[in-house]
Amino acid sequence: GAGMGMTAPVSITAFPTEDGSFQQKVKVSLRIPSQYQDNPPCPSDESIKIEERQGMTIYSTQFGGYAKEVDYVSYAAKLRSALGSEAAYRKDLYLCNGYDPPMKPYGRRNEVWFVKE
């Protein structure tokens, strides 16, 4: 029954296919606000799980606009190209992050993260 409002970022874990597009499975993660961190409310929907994300080092790129799957795939490809073959990062997934509410038309911030191995 607790409302937590908009959290940022909204993080989607993408599992890329051979051609770089998303597989049918994705994982959407929302940050629990600070005041709920010690004792988060229990979800009433059993498909919602509370997980603790461990610290990580990432390679990141940022872009604006209303991001769609095609945008995340495109920027992931650009980041992959910029990193070249020397950087060690997880190839089985990457994170797509949006920081703005849907009603914000300008100055939007989106990021693609590759998790460093």
3-state secondary structure at position 85: coil
Question: What does the domain layout of the chain look like in residue ranges?
Answer: 10-32+54-116
Q: Are 61 and 112 in contact (CB under 8 A)?
A: yes
75 and 50 in contact (C-beta within 8 Å)? no
How big is the chain by its Cα radius of gyration, in Å? Answer: 15
State the fold for domain 10-32+54-116. Multidrug-efflux Transporter 1 Regulator Bmrr; Chain A (3.20.80)
User: What's this model's pTM, rounded to 2 decimal places?
Assistant: 0.87
Percent of the chain whose pLDDT exceeds 70: 98
- Mean pLDDT over all residues of the chain? 90
> What is the spatial distance between Cα 93 and Cα 22, in angstroms, rounded to a whole number?
9
How confident is the model over 16-69, as pLDDT tens digits?
A: 888 777 877 788 898 888 888 898 888 888 888 999 888 999 999 999 999 999
The pLDDT, as a whole number, for residue 24 is 76
- Predicted confidence (pLDDT) at residue 9 exceeds the cutoff of 90: yes
Distance of alpha carbon 49 from its chain centroid, rounded? 16
Compare 86 and 5 and report the one with higher pLDDT: 86
